């Protein structure tokens, strides 16, 4: 697992990778609709790339707890011009969607990765990803976005999330998706209480032992608010700390809003990790 294959791209995993979030939604909790405009989203994507993003994750439907579902045609209308422009300029673009129709349109427009919070469980999703050469991010979620935070419950959250991800990896392999195209993700905040999220972060190394690159998405999440008392726009420092803890436990991809802050933190991380002890 020294690289991730995503379409024509081959991304080295020697250092942790930064996935920058480009929301094209009027209701995303973190952008509040500021990017509900293709041109603004495209400019924002280039800005994130300049700031050090290795992958740009373009999403047209918020998955925040209780968010309303968006029809596929509307989701496609939002993300397609953004994906076309960013991929057309050589950016590694991921599409954040659960819907096979959106995946197909995004892949045709140049997306090199499918980031699916349902881990390709929607009817037709697995086949769509398998028919492409894109990378896939398989995320764990208990329940579905509308009701997932109502009563999350596990006997052993780390064990159950690990088992789920192993099952989805096996399903992907059976469908013809090679392991060099796969990323796994515990899905922080997706059908999980604070205690569940903390257990998953503390034991992230057990998921890394599955032998696939692990993505951590902690940016601005409510667990950071619960621990710091901070509002959604004030969680940058907590997010950087949490992501570095994830890296220390084996995470190889970090899905973040503030790319520049994460890049600086990783500059320190990489320098210390790669230092040759000498005189
Ligand atoms: N979290 C969100 C969306 N997509 N994908 C992966 N792989 N992992 C995550 O943790 C993850 C994700 C949260 O989505 P949303 O509530 O829409 O907010 P934002 O996209 O601003 O993070």
Tens-digit pLDDT profile for residues 117-151? 999 999 999 999 999 999 999 999 998 888 888 88
Please tell me the predicted confidence (pLDDT) of residue 33: 52
Among residues of the chain, what percentage have pLDDT more than 90?
A: 86
Q: Provide the pLDDT for residue 29.
A: 41
Please give the pLDDT value at position 22. Answer: 96
Q: How far apart are CA 122 and CA 138, in angstroms?
A: 12
Q: Are 162 and 210 in contact (CB under 8 A)?
A: yes
Share of the chain above pLDDT 70, in %: 96
How far from 111 is each of 57, 106, 161, 219, 232, CA to CA, in Å? 9, 5, 27, 22, 29
| Mean pLDDT lowest among 68-72, 170-174, 176-180, 218-222 | 68-72
Nearest CA to ligand 1 atom 5: 117
**pLDDT at 13 exceeding the cut of 80:** yes
The per-residue pLDDT for 27 is 57
Q: Which of 104, 221, 235, 249 is catalytic?
A: 221
pLDDT band at 249 (very low <50, low <70, confident <90, very high): very high
Among 17, 24, 59, 252, residue to substitute to test ligand 1 (most atoms within 8 Å of Cβ): 59
Chain mean pLDDT for the chain: 94
Q: Band of the pLDDT at 57, cuts 50, 70, 90?
A: very high
Per-residue pLDDT reduced to its tens digit, 182-197? 999 999 999 999 999 9
By mean pLDDT, which of 41-45, 61-65, 81-85, 194-198 is the weakest? Answer: 61-65
Which residue has the CA at smallest separation from atom 21 of ligand 1? Answer: 30
Please indicate whether residue 191, judged by its CB atom, sits closer than 6 Å to ligand 1. Answer: no
Tell me if 64 CB under 6 Å of ligand 1: yes
Q: pLDDT at position 184, please?
A: 98
Measured from the Cα of 23, ligand 1's closest atom is 20
Residue 277 Cα, ligand 1 centroid: separation in angstroms?
A: 39
Cα of 159 from ligand 1 centre, angstroms: 22
Residue 145: per-residue pLDDT: 82
CB 137 within 8 A of CB 215: yes
Decide: 188 in ligand 1 pocket, CB within 6 A.
yes
Quote the CA–CA distance of 106 and 76 in Å, as a whole number: 8
Contact 113, 161 (CB under 8 A): no
Report the nearest atom of ligand 1 relative to the CA of 96.
4
pLDDT of 35 > 90? The answer is no
**pLDDT confidence band for 248 (50 / 70 / 90):** very high
């Amino acid at each position: 697992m020294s690289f991730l294959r995503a379409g024509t791209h081959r991304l080295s995993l020697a250092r942790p990778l930064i996935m920058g979030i480009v929301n094209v939604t009027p209701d995303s909790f973190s952008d509040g609709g500021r990017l509900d405009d293709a041109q603004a989203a495209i400019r924002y994507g280039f800005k994130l790339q300049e700031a050090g993003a290795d992958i740009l994750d373009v999403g047209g439907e918020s998955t925040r707890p209780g968010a309303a579902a968006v029809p596929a045609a509307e989701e496609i209308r939002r993300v397609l011009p953004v994906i076309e422009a960013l991929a057309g300029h050589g950016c590694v673009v991921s599409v954040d969607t659960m819907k096979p129709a959106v995946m197909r349109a995004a892949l045709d427009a140049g997306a090199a990765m499918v980031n699916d919070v349902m881990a390709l469980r929607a009817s037709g999703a697995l086949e769509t990803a398998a028919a492409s050469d894109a990378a896939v991010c398989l995320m764990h979620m208990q329940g579905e976005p509308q009701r997932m935070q109502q009563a999350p419950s596990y006997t052993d959250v780390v064990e159950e999330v690990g088992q789920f991800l192993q099952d989805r990896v096996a399903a992907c392999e059976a469908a013809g998706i090679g392991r060099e195209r796969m990323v796994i993700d515990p899905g922080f905040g997706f059908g999980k209480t604070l205690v569940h999220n903390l257990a998953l972060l503390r034991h992230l190394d057990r998921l890394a032992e599955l032998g696939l690159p692990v993505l951590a998405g902690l940016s601005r999440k409510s667990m950071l608010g619960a621990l710091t008392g901070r509002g959604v726009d004030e969680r940058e420092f907590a997010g950087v700390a949490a992501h570095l803890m994830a890296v220390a436990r084996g995470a190889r991809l970090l899905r973040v809003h503030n790319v520049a802050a994460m890049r600086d933190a990783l500059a320190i991380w990489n320098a210390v990790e790669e230092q040759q002890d000498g005189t």
